[in-house]
């Protein structure tokens, strides 16, 4: 079988499996425990958090480890919208993943105002419409980095230029982008970024949310106060370690992988055009 569905899920990288094995078999303490086994687990968790932060150009304390991209998106949208005191208005793009769209709709059912900003024929967000929709009581704007269906890469720095002067936090769903695009959060101009490990060779059921330290975040899960009180629950050290290893590997090989995938894409397109009568390509291609 030729597997062509890596955008849905990618197989774990070998280096990920090797890195997580000790945390599944030997270093198995609760990282919240004060004894030696707990301290060993916490050291692995802290190292993973630091490694993720290094890729983002961020502080480790800004990284919230989650059970995947959906949780990270939910935590970002609901957590930022309900923590900020400036108002009860949220703006999202029309082509967000359901993890963002449905969360925004849930906020609307609880009394928030919701506006959906349109996109052009290539799926690029309408900046003028966004500028018209953002208002003094807007508590969050969420625009995904790379679309999971058509691959459009959004001009996040330009979106940020609309939001930042007004003090509106900008979240981006980077689940599909993390394997292929740079993740420097300052260069992107975002205030929160979601990612899912299994999209770039990590384990399923693992991910993270980065939130800028100045942005308030209301937790969805309450309990023992893990993740600096932003996501309670016993930390999955093995998954965190795997996420960090996979993210570093994906980012390190990004240029070579882009070249390889581009050649494969062109080969597929040329093959279809040559063998399928009436087939044609669109006049433009979205950035990928």
In a domain, 287, yes or no: no
252 SS3 class:
helix
Rounded Cα–Cα distance for residues 225 and 231 (Å): 7
Residues found in the chain: 288
pLDDT at 236: 97
85-110: pLDDT as tens digits: 789 999 999 999 999 999 999 999 99
Q: What pLDDT is attached to residue 240?
A: 98
Structural domain contains residue 1: no
Q: Give the model confidence (pLDDT) of 165-203 as tens digits.
A: 999 999 999 999 999 999 999 999 999 999 999 999 999
How much is the pLDDT for 282?
Answer: 65
Q: What pLDDT band is residue 1 in, cutting at 50, 70 and 90? A: confident
286 in a structural domain: no
Kindly report, residue by residue over 122-133, the tens digit of the pLDDT: 999 999 999 999
Residues 6+ apart with CB under 8 A from 106: 78
Instruction: Say yes or no to pLDDT of 285 above 50.
Output: no
What CATH number did the domain enclosing 106 receive? 3.40.640.10
pLDDT of residue 283: 52
The proportion of the chain whose per-residue pLDDT surpasses 70, expressed as a percent, equals: 98
Residue 279 falls inside a structural domain: no
Task: Kindly report the pTM of this predicted structure.
Answer: 0.93
Question: DSSP secondary structure string, 151-217?
Answer: -PBP-HHHHHHHHGGGT--EEEE-TTTTTTS---HHHHT-SEEEEEGGGTTS-TT-EEEEE-TTS--
* Residue 258 domain flag: no
Give Cα 183 to chain centroid, integer Å. 10
Identify the residue whose tokens are 């990612």.
195
Model confidence at 286: pLDDT above 70: no
Whether 284 shows a pLDDT value over 90: the answer reads no
Residue 112 counted as domain residue: yes
> 256-283 pLDDT, tens per residue?
999 999 999 899 999 999 999 988 776 5
Task: Sort residue 124 into left (φ over 0), alpha (ψ -120 to 50) or beta.
Answer: beta
- What pLDDT score does 185 carry? 98
Based on the structure, what is the number of domains in the chain? 1
Q: Is residue 12 scored above 70 in pLDDT?
A: yes
DSSP of 96-116, one letter per residue?
--HHHHHHHHHHHHTT-EEEE
Give Cβ neighbours of residue 266 (< 8 Å, ≥ 6 apart): none
29 Cα distance to chain centroid = 28
In a domain, 205, yes or no: yes
What's the confidence (pLDDT) of residue 288?
A: 36
Whether residue 29 is contained in a domain is answered as: yes
Residue 139 pLDDT > 50: yes
User: Domain span at residue 25?
Assistant: 14-250
């Amino acid at each position: 079988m030729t597997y062509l569905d890596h955008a849905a899920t990618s197989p774990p990288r070998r280096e990920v499996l090797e890195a997580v094995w000790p945390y599944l078999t030997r270093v198995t303490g609760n990282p919240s425990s004060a004894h030696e086994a707990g301290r060993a687990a916490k050291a692995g968790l802290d190292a993973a958090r630091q490694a993720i932060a290094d890729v983002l150009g961020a502080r480790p304390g800004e990284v919230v480890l989650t059970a995947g991209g959906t949780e990270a998106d939910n935590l970002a949208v609901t957590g930022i919208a309900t923590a900020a005191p400036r108002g009860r208005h949220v703006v999202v793009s029309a082509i967000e993943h359901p993890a963002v769209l449905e969360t925004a709709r849930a906020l609307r059912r609880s009394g928030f105002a919701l506006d959906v900003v349109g996109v052009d024929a290539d799926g690029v967000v309408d900046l003028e419409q966004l500028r018209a929709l953002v208002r003094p009581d807007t508590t969050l704007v969420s625009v995904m980095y790379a679309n999971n269906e058509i691959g459009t890469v959004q001009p996040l720095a330009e979106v940020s230029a609309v939001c930042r002067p007004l003090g509106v936090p900008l979240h981006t769903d980077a689940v599909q982008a993390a394997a292929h695009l740079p993740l420097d959060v300052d260069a992107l101009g975002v205030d929160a970024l979601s990612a899912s490990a299994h999209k770039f060779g990590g384990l399923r059921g693992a991910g993270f949310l980065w939130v800028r330290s100045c942005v308030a975040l209301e937790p969805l899960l309450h309990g023992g106060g893990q993740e600096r009180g932003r996501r309670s629950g016993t930390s999955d050290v093995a998954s965190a370690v795997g996420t960090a290893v996979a993210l570093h590997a994906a980012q390190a090989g990004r240029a070579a992988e882009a070249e390889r995938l581009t050649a494969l894409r062109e080969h597929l397109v040329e093959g279809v055009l040559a063998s399928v009568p009436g087939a044609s390509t669109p006049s433009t291609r979205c950035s990928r």
